[in-house]
Structure 1
Amino acid sequence: MKIAFVTLISLFAAASVSAEDGWIPLFNGKDLSGWKDNIATEEKPEEKANSFVVEDGAIKVQGGRAHLFYVGEDGKASFKNFEFKAKVKLGSTEAGSNSGIYIHTQMEDKGWPSKGYECQVNSTKHKDVKKTGGLYGVKDVLNTSPAADDEWFDYEIKVEGKRIVIKINGEVTTDFTEPDDWDPSKALKNMDGRKLTAGTIALQGHDPISRVYYKDLYLKPLP
């Protein structure tokens, strides 16, 4: 009975993000097909080593500063209005784990993405006070992460028009509408490109110590 019950739950979860409902799988659970990573920085290229690997059906992010961009089969993936879902797990490390999910960004060969917003993924133990579920440097969740370490949690992002809504385990943690006169440089230094236009998804490798996992990544384009 237990096996049958687990199977039913798995089938229900798969049905909830079926292609018939418009959901696109971004990760096949086997390899990084459709994804492309960049180097860390010119100053510390060694920090990129093996930052993104597939382990037990999930993307494991550990090893250094780098970013993994979803480029799709044709290398031109771009979305404007959409819903995004993923399961995320923060590894329990002595200094905490930090990562992020970029939206409306674009592939760049090096450094931190200059386009789009970062939806924060960060444990309570990490020294950065901006925690999971916030819109980094724009509308932050401060000091305490709504997600525990070593536990899978649901991360949802919805972009519609000028509005961004982030949910963690079904609870809204950020609801931000970009003003018509939005000047991102006033929110955080070097944020001139933090605007809603269109673009792809990217996962962040923040530092050599952090360890974060992503799986069941789906995106549903909206009108």
Structure 2
Amino acid sequence: MRNTLFTFLFGASLLLSCGGVKQNSVAEAEKGFKPLFNGKDINDWFVKIYHHEVGENFGNTFRVVDGVVQIRYDQYGDFNDQFGHLYYKVPFSYYHLKFEYRFVGKLQKGAPDYTLLNSGVMFHSQDPRTMLKEQDWPISVEMQLLGGLSDGRSRPTGNMCSPGTDVVYQGKISADHCINSSSKTYDGDQWVRGELIVMGDSIIKHIINGDTVLQYSKPQIGGGVANGFDPKYKQDGKLLGSGFIALQSEGQPVDFKNIRIKQLRK
């Protein structure tokens, strides 16, 4: 009986100890992070949607429901290439960004096929107030987010795409608009944790569910894909050391939550 009691008490104390260690490690991991999204509204953010002036949240594309930023198109009709972005109000340079996302619903009628289960987080973006009404994509770097198609095929998420920009990958400027990460494929409407570590105009890391899945460096203006921009903002070869962070809308309903940031240099 004594041995049994001792074993029980020892096991209980071990569980409590492990629980305390886990709580402490989680608290340490979140130390220094501050919310970008307050869970209530998008008053600290502003919108730019293709074919519309900056500040016009056409069709209530970006909305907040139950502590989640929802991106929806139920007031659109045909999508009409109305690619949009929701920008945080100030730029950042050296930082660690964390967020969670999930894909929901069906692709909006008229949206391009490649936007199926496709969204992204733009960073080092030009100020949306410098974008013209008929500019489709901001000059920026994108952490591309993709959902699995439930067909057994690999479809990694946390990739890099480069509208109006270039990056150095594996020692040279990449000729590809998008670079695939090494992440797993995530099917369905599960929440996925994404992270970006951005060190100004040097190293950039993409992290998915705790695993580093892509790394590159020297983001700079260049390349194609972005159209309709004011030429004075397309200074090819100029390194990008800072810029705005934005959540993307391109025809696929998607949710974002727990968006927070830690600045790595003041």
Q: Any conservation in 2 of the 1:83–1:219 contact (CA below 8 Å)?
A: yes
Opposite residue 99 of structure 1, the aligned amino acid is: S
**Other structure's SS at 1:49 match:** helix
1:111-156 alpha-carbon deviations (Å, 9 max, x no partner): 4443320110122339xx98521111445227x9633220001000
TM-score, normalised to structure 1, is 0.73
Relative to 1, partners in 2 of residues 1:70 and 1:17: Cα closer, same or farther, differing over 3 Å?
farther
**Other structure's SS at 2:158 match:** strand
Picking from 79, 101, 104, the partner of 2:124 is 104
For the pair 1:176 / 2:216, whether they are aligned, the reply is: yes
2:195 paired residue number: 156
- Point out where structure 1 has 5 or more consecutive residues left out of the alignment: 1-7, 72-76
TM-score, normalised to structure 2, is 0.63
Instruction: Give identity over the alignment, percent.
Output: 26
Once the two structures are superposed, the pairs formed by residues 58-77 of structure 1 within 5 Å of their partners are 58-63=68-73, 65-71=83-89, 77=90
Picking from 137, 142, 153, the partner of 1:118 is 142
Picking from 92, 100, 103, the partner of 1:79 is 92
Q: In structure 2, what is the Cα distance between the partners aligned to 1:197 and 1:59?
A: 27
Once the two structures are superposed, the pairs formed by residues 1-223 of structure 1 within 5 Å of their partners are 15=27, 21-41=31-51, 48-63=58-73, 65-71=83-89, 77-93=90-106, 96-105=116-125, 106-108=127-129, 110=133, 111-125=135-149, 132-137=157-162, 138-141=177-180, 146-161=185-200, 162-178=202-218, 184-185=222-223, 188-190=224-226, 192=234, 195-207=239-251, 210-223=252-265
1:41-84 alpha-carbon deviations (Å, 9 max, x no partner): 25xxx99311111122110112153211100xxxxx12111100
Q: Any conservation in 1 of the 2:221–2:235 contact (CA below 8 Å)?
A: no
Which is greater in Rg?
2
RMSD: 3.5
**Other structure's SS at 1:197 match:** coil
Shift of 1:14: 7.9
- Point out where structure 2 has 5 or more consecutive residues left out of the alignment: 1-19, 74-81, 108-112, 163-176, 228-233
**Other structure's SS at 1:148 match:** coil
Give the paired residue count.
198
**Other structure's SS at 1:135 match:** strand
Relative to 1, partners in 2 of residues 1:12 and 1:139: Cα closer, same or farther, differing over 3 Å?
farther
**Other structure's SS at 1:118 match:** strand
Q: In structure 2, what is the Cα distance between the partners aligned to 1:47 and 1:67?
A: 10
Q: In structure 2, what is the Cα distance between the partners aligned to 1:30 and 1:17?
A: 24
Opposite residue 146 of structure 2, the aligned amino acid is: N
Opposite residue 254 of structure 2, the aligned amino acid is: V
Q: In structure 2, what is the Cα distance between the partners aligned to 1:123 and 1:149?
A: 7
